[in-house]
Amino acid sequence: MSFRAPACLPLLLLVACSGGEPPRPVTDFASPGQSGSPLRPLSSREGIGGVGGPAVAAAVPDPNDPAEPGIGDLPRLARYVFRVMGGHDEVCPFENPFRDRVHFVLGLEVKGGRMVRVSLGHAGLEGGDRVLSLAPSDWPRELTEYVACLTPHLKAVAMDPAPADGAYSPAYSFAGRPAGRKAP
């Protein structure tokens, strides 16, 4: 089963992933700095006005919106990557081959509002109460192909607002499949 992004993509971050749902960004990380400005692009939940009346801000901020004020650079970048994952599920499908949840970390370098380097930095499996880190030689082929497929799409994103130039390592996870392989 390949990953399909439903119309309620922002809501999916609020619930646990299960088979067939998009990857979750792992958001319990520290950010190298905070960025927030009162001058920002519209949030994905704000209107522009016109036929429906004046612009109206949502009462609850969109947890996936990279333009949301007050978030750090790492979560901002993680949100851009998550949007690309959801927007390219037909072109770059990923099916976790394991029964266990697969975690992975992307190695990203940002320069001038663009992702100039994209690589798979770490992969591991979570099974029950244990976490098994996988050696690069044991990384699932499906995962390395998924990252290779996403790379040109990630490099094409013009991030505005952009995180500061530098290296980042956002983490993501995909749910396991009941019929998947056992952990190595």
Residue 13, pLDDT > 60, answer: no
pLDDT of residue 26: 54
DSSP letter string over 95-106? ---BSSEEEEEE
Residue 159 has pLDDT above 60, yes or no: yes
- Rounded CA-CA distance 136/73 in Å is 27
Between 65 and 158, the higher pLDDT residue: 158
pLDDT tens-digit readout, 58-97: 446 666 778 888 889 999 999 999 999 999 989 999 989 9
Q: How far apart are CA 62 and CA 46, in angstroms?
A: 10
Percentage of residues in the chain with pLDDT exceeding 70?
66
User: pLDDT value at position 181?
Assistant: 86
**Exposed e or buried b per residue across 75-88, where buried means at least 16 C-beta atoms within 10 angstroms of its C-beta:** bbbbbbbbbbbbeb
Q: What is the pLDDT of residues 17-51, one digit of tens each?
A: 334 445 555 544 333 333 333 333 333 333 333 34
Distance CA 50, CA 19 (A): 40
The angle at the Cα of 173, spanning 151 to 24, to the nearest 5 degrees, equals 90
Element of type H or E holding 2: none
Give the Cα separation of 146 and 177 in Å (integer).
17
pLDDT digits (tens, 9 = 90+) for 99-150: 999 999 999 999 999 999 999 999 999 877 777 899 999 999 999 999 999 9
On whether the CB atoms of residues 121 and 169 are closer than 8 A, the answer is yes
Is the preceding peptide bond at 93 cis, omega within 30 degrees of 0?
A: no
pLDDT at 123: 95
**Sequence ranges of the domains in the chain:** 22-27+63-184
- Tell me the one-letter amino acid at 121: G
C-alpha 105/C-alpha 118 separation (Å) is 11
pLDDT at res. 93: 92
